[in-house]
Copies of this chain bind each other. A is one copy, B any other.
Amino acid sequence: MTSSVAIVEVGPRDGFQSMRSVLPTATKTEIIRSLYQAGVRRIETTSFVSERAVPQLADATEIVAFSAQFPELDAQVLVPTARHAQRALAAGADHLCAVLSVSESHNRGNVRRSPMESVEDYRQMVETMPAGTAMRLNVATAFDCPNAGRVPERAVLELLDHLVAVTSDAEIALCDTTGKADPAQVTALFEAVKKRFPQVRNWAFHGHDTYGLGTANVYAAWRAGIDVFDASVAGLGGCPFAPGATGNVATEDVVWMFESMGVRTGIDIEALVQASHVICELPDSQTGGRVRDALSARAKRAVAA
């Protein structure tokens, strides 16, 4: 296991896109600033998608420009297709995050393509990527699909055969889209991919807390040697194409767990909790996680005492 981990804050993308209302750009940028000030150095800041389908992220170009001002901030942007990747690059993004699903039905729900068609699209994205651009690949429904149920390990490995053949330089995140992965499954899948694809140097885990296993699964992935974890401040977000799958694992809970174990995250938990309070006050925000409330109760007692 590693003595430090990288947290990728996905709230500004995964969280904001799930809200019913469209947040003002100024609200988003203040939240990104407060996350940066809390020590967060990787943020999925936005996504280049159809503005009609996801009006919540129509200000992606402004968000990319805003995020470029922070030293050492690694700002990745989600791009569902090669066409949207070109838009992101034109806006100045230098870290793209491709996404496709192992499950056919889930991938069609997201981008109206089969997984193999998305592999071809990913190949095109990688081939036309300018030098100096970093790539992250999100493999959604790597554990469970809202339509098809538990996803067999074999299906993930076979899709990865094609994806790793495109490039082994991308950071690959295995995503528990529904939150139904369990720690034994997380351990088994990461052990399997690390064994089968030794040429891939960077793996990540994207987990949800829908069924209360958010931190347990992160812990299991870390035990399997993973050191990059997606999480969302205040547990915001989910997948709009996976009904009920609200609840990314809360960044506060993940940071709390790692720091308690003596594993460095670089994030100041008190400052992060302050930032999370702003999120909780947003309209329509469905929040999760426990540390925020626990630390706030403690702070209130301290004031009262």
Residues of A at under 8 Å CB distance from B? Answer: 179-180, 182-185, 209-216, 218-220, 243-244, 247, 250, 252-253, 256-257, 260-262, 288-291, 294, 297-298, 301
Q: Verify A290–B184 contact, CB threshold 8 A.
A: no
Q: Verify B213–A294 contact, CB threshold 8 A.
A: no
* Closest-CB distance, A247 to chain B (whole angstroms): 7
Q: Pick the residue among B210, B252, B288, B301 that contacts A243 (CB under 8 A).
A: B301
Q: Considering the chains assembled together, what is the distance between the CA atoms of A98 and B218 in angstroms?
A: 35
Q: Verify B253–A211 contact, CB threshold 8 A.
A: yes
Q: Considering the chains assembled together, what is the distance between the CA atoms of A183 and B263 in angstroms?
A: 12
The residue in chain B whose Cβ has the minimal distance to the Cβ of A295 is B211
* Closest-CB distance, A174 to chain B (whole angstroms): 17
Q: Considering the chains assembled together, what is the distance between the CA atoms of A212 and B231 in angstroms?
A: 13
Q: Verify A260–B215 contact, CB threshold 8 A.
A: no
The residue in chain B whose Cβ has the minimal distance to the Cβ of A293 is B210
Q: Verify A294–B215 contact, CB threshold 8 A.
A: no
Q: Verify B262–A184 contact, CB threshold 8 A.
A: yes
Q: Pick the residue among B183, B212, B218 that contacts A250 (CB under 8 A).
A: B212
Q: Verify A294–B179 contact, CB threshold 8 A.
A: yes
User: In the complex, what residues of B have CB within 8 A of residue A214's CB?
Assistant: 212
Q: Considering the chains assembled together, what is the distance between the CA atoms of A253 and B218 in angstroms?
A: 16
Considering the complex of A and B, which 9 residue pairs feature the smallest CB-CB distances, nearest first?
A: A212-B253, A212-B290, A182-B260, A184-B261, A216-B216, A215-B216, A216-B219, A244-B297, A182-B261
Given the contacts A182-B260, A257-B182, A211 and B290 also touching, CB distance less than 8 Å: yes
* Closest-CB distance, A63 to chain B (whole angstroms): 29
